[in-house]
Structure 1
Amino acid sequence: MNLGKGSCPRRLVLLATVSLSTLLGVATFTSGKERKPSSSVASKPAKKKLLFSDDFQTLDTLTWRPEIEPKPNSTVYAKQGKLVLDTQGGVTVWLKQPLHGNLQIEYTRKIPVAGDPNDRLSDLNQFWMASEPTGDGTTLATRSGKLEEYDNLRLYYVGMGGNTNSTTRFRKYPGNGERTLLQEYSDAVHLLQPNKEYKIKTIVQNGTTSFWVDGKCFFTYKDPAPLPTGYFGIRSTKSRQEISNFRVYQLD
């Protein structure tokens, strides 16, 4: 499939949306195609209202659900204002409230590489608008944290610096076991740097979703069959990562 040579704000067409209830509640869990670098052209500003924020003074288990692949030396915890994913295998930390409507999700993320056992520069990943293939999108079954167990979900997925920091990919899972590849990069501009803090922003608005890094649009997709409701998940595998300053906004 020819996706063209343009990058954001050009939209892709192939084949989300947030009203967030009050979140309450604390614990520690253990267990394509090559494209030109993106421009920094900003989308038209939208009015936004803060719905939820977390500065991770604790890991609130009424708000977040970690799913950690059962491997040794794998933990998820909060420390000094950061959510830390320190795992030898796959891990997903779900925001437990389903989202719908126009929304913007922002957070800061870093992959420390300092010689700790799980340190590996790879897989700054996330799921969004995830839902079971049947149902109304308001419940999500628990899984083990292994990537293959999410194949039957409907969702959008970015894997930034995947495959040991050799690819950055944007996919849609339609809920039938397929992982539809929408866009892909392998140039250094779109891969990871160690110990760098990245400002990540995800927008879902009027059937279009986009993924931004440090103010630059990496991916955008005008979905002819948009995912109307679902869950947001912070995703990684075999690495140590720090997430901070998490915010969810409702957009016009």
Structure 2
Amino acid sequence: MGQARRKEKQDQSPTEPAPSQEPSVGTAWVKPAGLTRKGWAVLVGLILVIQFPLIHYALFRGQPDARATVPYAQDFSEPGVVQRDFFSTGGYWRVTQGELLAPGVKNNPLWLQAALPDDVAVEFDVRSELPAGDIRVELFGNGRDPASGYILVQGGWNNALSVIARRDLNAPSLDALRRRAARKGQANVDLKASGFFKEDTKVRVELRGQPVQAGRTYHWRIERRGSLLRWFVDGELMLELDDPFPLKGPGQDRLGLSGFESQIFWDNLRVDTPDKLPFTAAPRAPTPPPGPYADDFNRDTLGDAWSATNPSAVKLVDGALVVELMHNRPMWLKQPIPTNAVIEFDAWTDNPEGDIKVEAWGDGRSFYAGDLRLQYTATGYVFIFGGWRNTQSAIARQNEHTNDRAVRDGAAVVAGKRHHIKITRSGGTLTWELDGQPFLTLKDPAPLEGPRNQYFGFSGWKNRVHFDNLKIQPLAP
């Protein structure tokens, strides 16, 4: 039989059109059928099989080994001690030339395999060979995970900050916790009794302006008695944290040495109880009591009354103090000032961008030592006159860039004009008068006070600024 002609082929085709691949207009979308119960069961089973090692480790890993005992002493003269007495999940920890080396271990602690007593003293020598500093120790951790206990950091955050942190390096400060309680009308409240500090609270105490010097060996002592954790460096108290829920017991009883990117060397480690590892704190240099002070700078040199953290940026010219390129490194008055006081001085600049700055009720020694592109957090109250290219003035509590500042917008500094500034503090209220007129007021619900907040300093960023006729008087009752 011959092939059908074209017309015959057409006649043999079905009379109904072939179904279209596109849904017709108005046709409702139907959800594809999902997995059946059996399918879901198979999928869950596969996941459990694949993840079984991790799940088993998380649930049943138990306590870390205890190969060593307290009291413990180690001079790292034996290379095999790392493998014998310690444990780490990462980092090429090793002994070299009688010292323990942490070569950029990226926050992988080297845990001592010994259970710590609740009251403990830890001492060692340590140095960082890189300018980054960032020496870290973990105390009362779980022996495996970083940030599982107390983390002590000397020269962290670009070598600008030292902290004792409870379970989180980036936790809010204890000072911020107190301020939050004060905003709720509970100033000077017991944080534990009021519920602001709980067992799972993550918090830290911090100290600024104590950078680690590359190549310098520091002697650390950490001790805890009861709830009080204290940290000394070279015999001087660095920081302390009184924890109402002290971390202790199984799962919170290990010591870890740590670091991040620095090359850190450790030696002469000793661990014992505080009574069996005696310690005498270095005596503090005597300081004069807070009181009045006056300076007209009418001399050739600064003298012993002042401490310049950036000596090349300050000088005396024609009976006035001149600062330039200070980069937030204050010149501190060594004598403490009263908590409630009146501070007066003259200030001027020939630069139309203004930017006149002083710091009051700071710690008397801190300064900015980090990347100049990053912000500076002060230890006291910062008074900024015509900052940000003479567009804004502010009273800031430590941080110049937060929303809790008192701010006044607009140009304020008149180039070449000698302005008179008067600052008055009464408790948590700070008032600023400019040329005899009210200018700004800040009310702090948790005022900065105490031994680390009783100093005054002249500061600045870049511009050339003149200061003169400083007078500090206790506030009249």
Q: TM-score normalized by structure 1?
A: 0.64
Residue identity opposite 2:302 in structure 1:
D
The 1:180/1:148 distance shift into structure 2, 3 A limit, reads farther
Residues 74-223 of structure 1 mapped to structure 2, 5 A cutoff: 75-87=313-325, 89-113=327-351, 121-131=353-363, 140-141=365-366, 143-144=368-369, 150-151=376-377, 153-173=378-398, 179-188=402-411, 191-223=412-444
Find the aligned partners of 1:88 and 1:130 in 2 and give their Cα distance.
17
The 1:51/1:147 distance shift into structure 2, 3 A limit, reads farther
Matched, 1:249 2:470: no
The 1:97/1:63 distance shift into structure 2, 3 A limit, reads same
Find the aligned partners of 1:98 and 1:247 in 2 and give their Cα distance.
13
Q: More deviation in 241-250 or 220-229?
A: 220-229
Q: Is the 8 A contact 1:67 1:143 kept in 2?
A: no
Q: More deviation in 75-84 or 139-148?
A: 139-148
Alignment correspondent of 1:33: none
Find the aligned partners of 1:154 and 1:88 in 2 and give their Cα distance.
17
The 1:106/1:148 distance shift into structure 2, 3 A limit, reads farther
Residue identity opposite 1:159 in structure 2:
I
Alignment correspondent of 2:310: 68
Alignment correspondent of 1:53: 294
- For residues 120-147 of structure 1, give each alpha carbon's deviation from its aligned partner in whole angstroms, at most 9, with x where no partner exists: 622111111113xxxxxxx634554969
User: Deviation of residue 89 (structure 1)?
Assistant: 4.4
Find the aligned partners of 1:81 and 1:22 in 2 and give their Cα distance.
27
User: Deviation of residue 221 (structure 1)?
Assistant: 2.4
Q: Is the 8 A contact 2:315 2:321 kept in 1?
A: yes
- For residues 41-82 of structure 1, give each alpha carbon's deviation from its aligned partner in whole angstroms, at most 9, with x where no partner exists: xxxxxxxxx82111102342421122339xxxx531112210
Could you list the runs of 5+ residues in structure 1 that have no partner in the other structure? 1-12, 24-49, 114-119, 132-138
Q: Is the 8 A contact 2:395 2:441 kept in 1?
A: no
The 1:142/1:173 distance shift into structure 2, 3 A limit, reads closer
SS in 2 for 1:200: strand
User: Deviation of residue 239 (structure 1)?
Assistant: 1.1
Alignment correspondent of 1:21: 288
Alignment correspondent of 1:235: 459
Alignment correspondent of 2:254: none
Find the aligned partners of 2:320 and 2:410 in 1 and give their Cα distance.
29
The 1:149/1:65 distance shift into structure 2, 3 A limit, reads farther
Residue identity opposite 1:196 in structure 2:
K
Q: Is the 8 A contact 1:173 1:179 kept in 2?
A: no
Alignment correspondent of 1:43: none
The 1:102/1:89 distance shift into structure 2, 3 A limit, reads closer
Q: Which has the higher contact order (CA 8 A, sep 6+)?
A: 1
Find the aligned partners of 1:178 and 1:159 in 2 and give their Cα distance.
12
Residue identity opposite 1:127 in structure 2:
E
Find the aligned partners of 2:369 and 2:313 in 1 and give their Cα distance.
13
Q: Aligned-pair RMSD on alpha carbons?
A: 3.2
Residue identity opposite 2:421 in structure 1:
I
User: Deviation of residue 95 (structure 1)?
Assistant: 1.2
The 1:89/1:103 distance shift into structure 2, 3 A limit, reads closer
User: Deviation of residue 92 (structure 1)?
Assistant: 1.9
Q: Is the 8 A contact 1:67 1:91 kept in 2?
A: yes
The 1:232/1:150 distance shift into structure 2, 3 A limit, reads farther
Task: Name whichever structure is richer in strand by fraction.
Answer: 1
Residue identity opposite 2:455 in structure 1:
Y
Residue identity opposite 1:128 in structure 2:
A
Could you list the runs of 5+ residues in structure 2 that have no partner in the other structure? 1-181, 185-286
Q: More deviation in 86-95 or 96-105?
A: 86-95
Find the aligned partners of 1:96 and 1:147 in 2 and give their Cα distance.
29
- What is the percent sequence identity of the aligned residues? 25
User: Deviation of residue 99 (structure 1)?
Assistant: 2.1
Find the aligned partners of 2:422 and 2:381 in 1 and give their Cα distance.
14
